[in-house]
Amino acid sequence: MNATTKPILRALAGEAVWPPPAWMMRQAGRHLPEYKATRAEAGSFLALATTPELAAEVTLQPVRRYGMDGAILFSDILMVPWALGQKFWMEDGEGPRLEPIQDIAALSRLDVTRVRGAAQCIFDTVSITRNALDEAGSRTTMLGFAGSPFTVACYMVEGRGGSDFAFTRHLAYTDPAFFGRLIRILTDATVDYLLGQVEAGAEALMLFDSWSGLLSPSQFRRWVIEPTANIRRAVAQTAPHIPMIGFPRLAGSLFGDYASRTGMQGLAMDTHMDPRWAAQQVAPTQALQGNLDPLALIAGGTTLETEARMLLSSMRGRPYIFNLGHGIEKETPIEHVMSLLRLVRGG
Amino acid sequence: MNATTKPILRALAGEAVWPPPAWMMRQAGRHLPEYKATRAEAGSFLALATTPELAAEVTLQPVRRYGMDGAILFSDILMVPWALGQKFWMEDGEGPRLEPIQDIAALSRLDVTRVRGAAQCIFDTVSITRNALDEAGSRTTMLGFAGSPFTVACYMVEGRGGSDFAFTRHLAYTDPAFFGRLIRILTDATVDYLLGQVEAGAEALMLFDSWSGLLSPSQFRRWVIEPTANIRRAVAQTAPHIPMIGFPRLAGSLFGDYASRTGMQGLAMDTHMDPRWAAQQVAPTQALQGNLDPLALIAGGTTLETEARMLLSSMRGRPYIFNLGHGIEKETPIEHVMSLLRLVRGG
């Protein structure tokens, strides 16, 4: 009954497509020489992410080289704070930085009405990429994405990456009014940002929650599951045909709660998650995605083969999208990716 | 049928003691002014940890102040590599450093037969502490501990702390012979080290596995569950009356596997774990321990009360030891610890 023949969309509609469709998180990135060339041409990460022709080019590179079933928009989860008007810059050798938001005055300067306009360059990237796929008659699905409100809030409050975001988690306990307001702003902005991508041609959407595994169960339900369910509902109201994939990294014991309460069509598993256990936590129609260890992909050989075969056999017979459990590492040999994809496509 | 009246030992024997016994990870530490004074007297962390009178004093400080039901040996998981002969030093403002072990030559210099002798100062700390507890007629349980082979191996290979230990995890894939040899050395050394603590008076033992949540399910079974089960068996052969608590931090979906295959009498839950879910994963006689968010303890007030009550109600009626889900933070107000303990002891 699926009008579409795109394998990822069929899996997200609950079909046990086999061999499974495949793509890899961070597939457009530094493990590819063609990416490095375009990145050098752009001059900076921000220039690359905000110049639609170049961003579309790197989005398409892994599709051309590997025939990936998903083309994930080349962008960054911090594009939403940037579009909200938070000061954003790249620190040499340190990655992205934001001017920290820790009081109501700073919070009040964020402007949700700005997001659609400011993010136009991102939507243009989606349009260009989707058109290129359509013109080639590709079965590759155009995937849009955003960071989850909690994960993005961690960066917005602390102004930089970190390993535990204790300051933000403490703030969420001691000033839930402030933190709740930030989460609501981010929820609204994320809905706008995702719907802009849908209008531009995104066929499915992924929500990345990199840091939610740090929260206590009650905080996880309040700051992760609830806003994610709100985003899912708001997107579905305007775009009921667009499936979503949630990635609650390190959710562990709370993975099933997340799956049932958010109603995501797809659930991405991190490297550590037991796929057989995960399959028991989600509805039979909810697709699972993941979770080969990126380090097994670097290792290659029989290690890679053994890990991949175990994963595939645990997912056979249910809706599933092959992926890694974390972004592909820059040291990954291209031949390893090729041989992994041959194995996956062999079924 | 329990000869003992010590609440922690009763809980570890499978009894649903209520109100539950309580202690806190890193309870001897920088949140206590008396700790800071003794630390200053010692001059350095290593001097403090290796001078039995001083280490016993800081081990006893939280027992005196709070009446904790557990006295956890003041030490460090890196005492085992230190006792094995790996070069160890403290870097100002950076914490402990080890000379990295990345080849067979360096591995061959480790000497398991050295551990018992080199760690004598640690065993002396246990003796002094246990004697002090006995002389006071205390119901506080003397807890020994070690790091798990995998977690300790991460530090031994990389020489320092980190946030993902990707180098070690990659090595475990690409050179399992080397990594397996290191894990076997650590397994033997850890058994000797734990049994030395038992002979000195430790009444229960805890194994800390801080970084196992980074491994894929198959690597977790190979490098965490298997060595942990081996340690558990070897300790039980010599000291069948000594219960053990395992802390597989971020084990998530693999918590139940860890519990059933290692046969630990106690399972410690990290902050993120859902306690109701955890209770379904372990045998009814296996005690759970944990997992209040240390940040909720800093926050205090109704936040702390709500989180603590939820946790207690989820554990009521089963063997349980109250604890945090991570070490207590140095910013924690002493009054918050006091009011939390009043609440826990109110049952």
Decide if A206 contacts A194 (C-beta within 8 A). Answer: no
Closest chain B residue to the Cα of A324, Cα to Cα? B216
Closest chain B residue to the Cα of A171, Cα to Cα? B299
Residues of A in contact with B296 (CB under 8 A): 173, 216
Three-class SS state of B202: coil
Rounded-to-10 torsion of CA B226, A213, B274, B210: 40
Three-class SS state of B280: helix
Three-class SS state of A125: helix
With an 8 Å Cβ cutoff, are B174 and A303 in contact? yes
Residues of B in contact with A291 (CB under 8 A): 216
| Domains present along chain B, CATH in parentheses | 7-346 (3.20.20.210)
With an 8 Å Cβ cutoff, are B213 and A250 in contact? yes
Three-class SS state of B29: coil
Position B2 confidence tier, pLDDT thresholds 50, 70, 90: very low
Identity of the residue numbered B330? K
Residues of A in contact with B214 (CB under 8 A): 271-272
Query: How far is it, in rounded angstroms, from Cα A340 to Cα A309?
Result: 10
Q: According to the model, what pLDDT value does residue B1 have?
A: 35
The alpha-carbon gap from B220 to the nearest alpha carbon of chain A, in Å, equals 8
Tokens of B52: 């039995």
Query: How far is it, in rounded angstroms, from Cα B148 to Cα B66?
Result: 28
Q: According to the model, what pLDDT value does residue B82 have?
A: 95
* Percentage with pLDDT > 70 across chain B: 99
Query: How far is it, in rounded angstroms, from Cα A101 to Cα A155?
Result: 9
Residues of A in contact with B307 (CB under 8 A): 216, 218
Decide if A15 contacts A319 (C-beta within 8 A). Answer: yes
Residues of A in contact with B220 (CB under 8 A): 272
Query: How far is it, in rounded angstroms, from Cα B198 to Cα B196?
Result: 5
Closest chain B residue to the Cα of A272, Cα to Cα? B216
Kindly report the three-state secondary structure assignment for every residue of B148-197: CHHHHHHHHHHCCCCCCCHHHHHHHHHCHHHHHHHHHHHHHHHHHHHHHH
Tokens of B82: 């230190």
Query: How far is it, in rounded angstroms, from Cα B141 to Cα B7?
Result: 8
Report the Cα–Cα distance between both ends of chain B, in Å, rounded: 23
Catalytic residues of A: 26, 30, 39, 76, 155
The alpha-carbon gap from A71 to the nearest alpha carbon of chain B, in Å, equals 26
Q: What is the pLDDT of residues B24-71, one digit of tens each?
A: 999 999 999 999 999 999 998 889 999 999 999 999 999 999 999 999
Q: According to the model, what pLDDT value does residue A347 have?
A: 64
Decide if A72 contacts A27 (C-beta within 8 A). Answer: yes
Angle between helices A33-42 and A52-66 (to 10 degrees): 170
In whole angstroms, how far apart are CA A315 and each of A26, A82, A275, A322?
A: 22, 38, 7, 9
ipTM: 0.93
With an 8 Å Cβ cutoff, are B250 and A254 in contact? no
Q: Which DSSP string do the residues of A320-345 spell out, in sequence order?
A: EEEEESSPPPTT--HHHHHHHHHHHH
Catalytic residues of B: 26, 30, 39, 76, 155
Beta strand pairing call for B266-268 and A70-72: unpaired
With an 8 Å Cβ cutoff, are A295 and B166 in contact? yes
Q: What is the pLDDT of residues B80-101, one digit of tens each?
A: 999 999 998 888 777 889 999 9
Query: How far is it, in rounded angstroms, from Cα A177 to Cα A171?
Result: 10
The alpha-carbon gap from A326 to the nearest alpha carbon of chain B, in Å, equals 11
Q: What is the pLDDT of residues A19-56, one digit of tens each?
A: 999 999 999 999 999 999 999 999 988 899 999 999 99
In whole angstroms, how far apart are CA A305 and each of A68, A274, A298, B173, B225?
A: 19, 18, 12, 12, 22
Phi, psi of A19 (to 5 degrees): -55, 150
Residues of A in contact with B169 (CB under 8 A): 293, 295
Query: How far is it, in rounded angstroms, from Cα A242 to Cα A260?
Result: 18
B81 in A contact zone (CB under 8 Å): no
Count CB pairs under 8 A between chains A and B: 118
Report the Cα–Cα distance between both ends of chain A, in Å, rounded: 23
Q: According to the model, what pLDDT value does residue B213 have?
A: 87
With an 8 Å Cβ cutoff, are B220 and A325 in contact? no
Q: According to the model, what pLDDT value does residue B347 have?
A: 64
A 190-249 near B (Cβ less than 8 A): 213-220
- Over residues B133-141, the mean pLDDT reads 97
Q: Is B324 left (phi over 0), alpha (psi -120 to 50) or beta?
A: beta
| DSSP at A223 | I
A325 in B contact zone (CB under 8 Å): yes
Tokens of A266: 């797809």
Query: How far is it, in rounded angstroms, from Cα B73 to Cα B114?
Result: 21
Three-class SS state of A240: coil
A169, A253, A296 ranked by CB distance to B216: nearest: A296
A254 in B contact zone (CB under 8 Å): yes
Q: According to the model, what pLDDT value does residue A91 have?
A: 83
With an 8 Å Cβ cutoff, are A253 and B253 in contact? yes
Burial B17-38, CB ≥16 within 10 A → b, else e: bbbbbbbbbbbbbebbeebeeb
Q: According to the model, what pLDDT value does residue B92 have?
A: 77
Helices and strands in chain A, H and E counts:
18, 9
Rounded-to-10 torsion of CA A304, A306, A309, A311: -80
Q: Which DSSP string do the residues of B122-156 spell out, in sequence order?
A: HHHHHHHHHHHHHHTT---EEEEEEE-HHHHHHHH
Query: How far is it, in rounded angstroms, from Cα A163 to Cα B272?
Result: 15
Length of chain B: 347
Beta bridge partners of A144: A205
> Tens-digit pLDDT profile for chain A (347 aa)?
344 799 999 999 999 999 999 999 999 999 999 999 999 999 988 899 999 999 999 999 999 999 999 999 999 999 999 999 999 888 877 788 999 999 999 999 999 999 999 999 999 999 999 999 999 999 999 999 999 999 999 999 999 988 789 999 999 999 999 999 999 999 999 999 999 999 999 999 999 998 888 899 999 999 999 999 999 999 999 999 999 999 999 999 999 999 999 999 999 999 999 999 999 999 999 999 999 999 999 999 999 999 999 999 999 999 999 999 999 999 999 999 999 999 999 96
